[in-house]
Amino acid sequence: MFEQLGLIGCGLMGGSFALALKRAGLVRRVVGYSKSPLTLSRARALGVIDVEAPSALLAVSGADLVLLALPVAATEDTFKAVRHLLGAQALLMDVGSTKADVVAAARRTLGAHLPQFVPAHPIAGKEVAGIEHADADLYRGCQVILTPLPETAPQQSARAQQLWQALGAQVRLMDAQDHDAAYAAVSHLPHLLAFAAVNALGQQRAGRQWLELAGPGFRDFSRIAASDPVIWRDILQANAAEVLAQSRQFRAALDALEAAMQHSDGSALQKLIAHASALRSQWQPASGATAPDSIFAPCTKPPSSTCPP
Residues present in the chain in total: 309
Residue 219, judged by CB atoms within 10 A of its CB (0-12, 13-18, 19+), counts as exposed
Contact of 62 with 4, CB cutoff 8 Å: yes
How much is the CA Rg of the chain, to the nearest whole Å?
21
Domain definitions of the chain by residue range? 2-175, 178-284
Predicted local confidence at residue 128, as pLDDT:
74
Contact of 102 with 79, CB cutoff 8 Å: no
Average pLDDT over residues 173-182: 97
Q: How confident is the model at residue 231 (pLDDT cuts 50, 70, 90)?
A: confident
Predicted local confidence at residue 284, as pLDDT:
82
pTM to 2 decimal places: 0.86
How would CATH label the architecture of 178-284?
Answer: Orthogonal Bundle (1.10)
Predicted local confidence at residue 285, as pLDDT:
72
Rounded CA separation 163/241 (Å) = 32
CATH code for the domain defined by 2-175: 3.40.50.720
Q: What is the pLDDT of residues 38-96, one digit of tens each?
A: 999 999 999 999 999 999 999 999 999 999 999 899 999 999 999 999 999 999 999 99
